[in-house]
C-alpha cells in the first residue's frame, strides 16, 4: 500500500539516481506542490538545488516574506528571493485588457526567469511540480513522461506562460508526477509543511493583478492587499476558511459616493467573491453568514483608505468565472 514514508524514500532515491552530481533549479510559488518538491529535492541533493522565488508583487500580504522565512526556519533551505516588483508593475502601465495583462506578466516572468537562471546557473535540470493529472493530459512537454527525458517547453504550475525560449531547454525532474493532489497534500503534511500551505486556497499565477480591474498601480495593489488580508483574517478567525474553495476581494475601477463622519467620500468599491467548488470548473457562490459579511465590510471600509463600499458577488460559474478577469 501507498504510504507517504515509502513515497518520500523512493522519490529521494530516484532523484539522486537521475540527477547525480548535477545542479537543479526550482521556481517556488508558495503552494503545496512546489514546497513539497523543494523539500524532496533538498533532502535528496542538498546544495545542488537552488530554489528561486520571483516576487512579481502580486502576492497576498506578507506571503513572500512568510515563504522565505518558512523555508529558512523550518527546512533550512535558503531561497534566492528575486524582487521583481517594479519591473512587473512597469509592464502593466496603462494595460487594462485582462488577456494583455496575463501576456505581459507571462512575458516578464520568462525574462526574469532567464536572467536569474543565467545569473545563478548554469543548471542541468529544472524541477517541476507536475502531478499525475497534468501528465496524462499534458501537451507541455515533448517526450513521453514514462521514458524519462522530458524537456520543458513551458513553465508549469502557477505561471501560466506560453513557453520557455528554445535555447533555455532544461531536462526535467518531476518527482510528484505519479501523485494526485490529495497525495501531495499528505506528503506535504508528513514532511512538516504547515496546514496553511497544505490546504491553501488556489491562487492564480498573475495573483492580485487580475483582481484589480483596469490598470494595476502600486496604490491599487496596496488597497487590494489590505482588503484581501482582512477577508482572510476574518474567515480564519471564524473558522470557516476550509468551507470555501476560494474567498477573496476584487477591486473595481469605478468610484461611488459615500459618507464618512460628516464628510462625503468618493472612493472605490471592493467585491467579495466567495465560492464553493470541487475542481474550479464549476462553482457556486457561497451562502456566507450575514454577520461575517458585516464584520468584513465594516473592517474594510474603516481600515482601508480608498474604499467606501463593499458588495457581494452572487454569481455562480457558469455563467460567471471565479476570477473577475
Ligand atoms: P476562473 O476564473 O476561470 O478560475 O473560473 C478557475 C480557477 O483557476 C484559477 N485561475 C488561474 N490560475 N493563472 C492561474 O494559475 C490564471 O491566470 C488563472 N485564472 C484563473 C482561479 O483562481 C480558479 O481557481
Ligand 1 lined by 206 (C-beta under 6 Å) = yes
Query: Whose CA is closest to atom 3 on ligand 1?
Result: 321
CB 135 within 8 A of CB 33: no
Q: Which of the residue ranges 140-149, 166-175, 180-189 would you say has the lowest mean pLDDT?
A: 140-149
Which pLDDT tens digit goes with each residue over 29-82? 999 999 999 999 999 999 999 999 999 999 999 999 999 999 999 899 999 999
Report the range of poorest mean pLDDT among 123-127, 134-138, 164-168, 210-214: 164-168
Sheet holding 79-83, edge to edge: 79-83, 49-55, 24-27, 125-127, 171-173
pLDDT, residue 162, reads: 42
| pLDDT at residue number 146 | 47
Check residue 143 and give its pLDDT. 61
What is the structure's pLDDT at 134?
Answer: 82
Binding site membership of 160 for ligand 1 (Cβ less than 6 Å): yes
Closest among 76, 49, 95 to 206, alpha carbons compared: 95
Contact 240, 136 (CB under 8 A): no
pLDDT band at 159 (very low <50, low <70, confident <90, very high): very low
List all residues 6 or more positions away from 306 whose beta carbon is below 8 Å from its beta carbon.
219, 223, 267, 268
How far apart are the CA of 207 and the centre of ligand 1, in A?
A: 9
**Reported ipTM:** 0.99
> How many CA atoms within 13 Å lie on the side-chain side of 237?
11
Query: How far is Cα 148 from Cα 185, in angstroms, rounded to an integer?
Result: 25
Q: Is the CB of residue 306 below 6 angstroms from any atom belonging to ligand 1?
A: no
Over 90: is that where the pLDDT of 167 sits? no
167 assigned binding-site residue? no
- How many angstroms separate the CA atoms of 251 and 225, rounded? 10
DSSP letter string, 118-140: HHH---SEEE----HHHHHH--S
Closest Cα to atom 18 of ligand 1: 204
Q: How far is the CA of 281 from the centre of ligand 1 (A)?
A: 9
User: Rounded to whole angstroms, how far apart are CA atoms 209 and 221?
Assistant: 8
Pairing of β 246-251 and β 263-276: antiparallel
Chain centre distance of CA 45:
25
Return the H-helix or E-strand segment holding 224.
helix 218-237
Q: Atom 22, ligand 1: which residue's CA is nearest?
A: 204
| Residue 107 pLDDT > 50 | yes
Q: Which domains does the chain have, with CATH numbers?
A: 4-198 (3.40.50.620), 211-312 (3.30.300.10)
Probe ligand 1: pick from 29, 156, 202, 282, max atoms within 8 Å of CB?
A: 202
When pLDDT is averaged across residues 168-194 and rounded to a whole number, the result is 92
Residue 156 pLDDT grade (very low, low, confident, very high; cuts 50, 70, 90) = very low
The model carries a pTM of 0.89
Q: How many residues does the chain have?
A: 325
Which ligand 1 atom lies nearest to the CA of residue 277? 24
What is the structure's pLDDT at 289? 97
pLDDT given at position 158: 42
pLDDT band, very low/low/confident/very high, at 291 (cuts 50, 70, 90): very high
C-alpha cell at 223: 488597497
Q: What is the tens place of the pLDDT at every residue in 220-279?
A: 999 999 999 999 999 999 999 999 999 999 999 999 999 999 999 999 999 999 999 999
Of 216, 236, 214, 238, give the one whose Cα is nearest residue 225: 216
Amino acid at each position: 500500500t501507498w504510504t507517504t514514508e515509502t513515497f518520500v524514500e523512493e522519490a529521494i532515491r530516484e532523484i539522486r539516481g537521475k540527477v547525480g552530481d548535477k545542479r537543479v533549479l526550482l521556481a517556488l510559488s508558495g503552494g503545496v506542490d512546489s514546497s513539497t518538491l523543494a523539500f524532496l529535492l533538498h533532502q535528496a541533493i542538498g546544495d545542488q538545488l537552488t530554489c528561486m522565488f520571483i516576487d512579481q508583487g502580486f502576492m497576498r500580504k506578507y506571503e513572500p516574506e512568510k515563504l522565505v522565512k518558512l523555508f529558512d526556519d523550518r527546512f533550512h533551505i535558503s531561497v534566492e528571493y528575486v524582487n521583481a516588483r517594479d519591473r512587473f508593475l512597469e509592464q502593466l502601465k496603462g494595460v487594462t485588457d485582462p488577456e494583455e495583462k496575463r501576456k505581459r506578466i507571462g512575458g516578464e516572468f520568462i525574462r526574469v526567469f532567464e536572467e536569474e537562471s543565467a545569473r545563478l546557473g548554469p543548471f542541468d535540470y529544472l524541477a517541476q511540480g507536475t502531478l499525475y493529472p497534468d501528465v496524462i493530459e499534458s501537451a507541455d512537454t515533448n517526450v513521453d513522461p514514462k521514458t524519462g527525458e522530458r524537456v520543458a517547453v513551458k513553465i508549469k504550475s502557477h505561471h501560466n506562460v506560453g513557453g520557455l525560449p528554445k535555447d533555455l531547454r532544461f531536462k526535467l525532474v518531476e518527482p510528484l508526477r505519479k501523485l494526485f493532489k490529495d497525495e501531495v497534500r499528505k506528503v506535504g503534511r508528513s514532511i512538516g509543511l504547515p496546514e496553511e500551505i497544505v490546504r491553501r486556497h488556489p491562487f492564480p499565477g498573475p495573483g492580485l493583478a487580475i483582481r484589480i480591474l483596469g490598470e494595476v498601480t502600486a496604490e491599487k495593489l496596496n488597497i487590494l492587499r489590505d482588503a484581501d488580508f482582512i477577508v482572510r483574517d476574518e474567515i480564519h478567525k471564524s473558522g470557516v476558511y476550509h468551507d470555501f474553495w476560494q474567498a477573496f476581494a476584487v477591486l473595481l475601477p469605478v468610484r461611488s459616493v459615500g459618507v464618512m463622519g460628516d464628510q462625503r467620500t468618493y472612493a472605490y468599491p471592493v467585491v467579495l467573491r466567495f465560492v464553493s467548488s470541487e475542481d474550479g470548473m464549476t462553482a457556486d457562490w457561497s451562502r456566507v453568514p450575514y454577520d461575517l459579511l458585516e464584520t468584513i465590510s465594516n473592517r474594510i471600509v474603516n481600515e482601508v483608505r480608498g474604499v467606501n463600499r463593499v458588495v457581494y458577488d452572487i454569481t455562480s460559474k457558469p455563467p460567471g468565472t471565479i476570477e473577475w478577469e
